[in-house]
Amino acid sequence: MRIAVKYSMDDILNVIVTVISFDSFRTGSSEARAIVRLASMAEFPHLFSRDTVVQAFIDTCSIRFHPINYNLGPLMAYPAFVVLMMQYREGLGNPEQALWERAACWRDDGEPLLMTPRMWLNEQVELLGFNEVGLIS
């Protein structure tokens, strides 16, 4: 992917991004594959839309899945992603203490709005540099 970016090979880059976005990895559990996808997205944030990354986080963060160091290896180069993953999983496992329960958000008319886990993830992923529009949205 780095070579495709470096030499502006847009057609090859589109194929790579499509493959990563649509979970075409065939080895390991679906959660382990999602971690690899998430690491790929973290490396090239300008190529992936916020919604694609949020869905990858949701796929990765099942509380049924108990990742070990081996599973998290591809993501270790991106500590902000690991922290976000831990915070999201913690919130799923303990909803009363979830960060989104304490986060404030307001509607356009100034009324308070209950934040959902997805709304919270959208905000956090935007802070990591992902926009609503990427190469693949």
Place of tokens 């030499």: 7
Residue 36 included in any domain: yes
What pLDDT shows up at residue 89?
92
- Residue 34's pLDDT is what? 81
Number of domains into which the chain is organized: 1
Q: Is the pLDDT of residue 24 over 60?
A: no
Section 52-81 average pLDDT: 85
82 lies in a domain? yes
Retrieve residue 101's tokens: 């329960």
Residue pLDDT, tens place only, 85-134: 999 999 999 988 888 887 777 777 877 778 889 989 999 999 988 877 65
Query: How much is the pLDDT for 80?
Result: 92
Residue 70 lies in a domain: yes
Residue 87: per-residue pLDDT? 93
Inform me whether the pLDDT recorded for 137 exceeds 60. no
**Is 58 among the domain residues?**
yes
**pLDDT of 66 over the 90 cut:** no
Which of 24-28, 74-78, 88-92 is predicted most confidently? 88-92
- What pLDDT was estimated at residue 2? 58
User: According to the model, what pLDDT value does residue 69 have?
Assistant: 78
Whether pLDDT at 23 is above 60 = no
Do the domain assignments include residue 136? no
Give the domain extent around 102: 2-127
Q: Residue 32: which H helix or E strand, with range? A: helix 30-43
Phi-psi region of 68 (alpha: psi -120 to 50; beta: other; left: phi over 0): beta
Contact criterion met (CB below 8 Å) for 25 and 37: yes
Q: How far is CA 101 from CA 41, 96, 97, 104, in A?
A: 27, 7, 7, 8
The pTM of the whole model exceeds 0.85: no
Burial label for 83, CB within 10 Å (0-12, 13-18, 19+), is exposed
133 is a domain residue: no
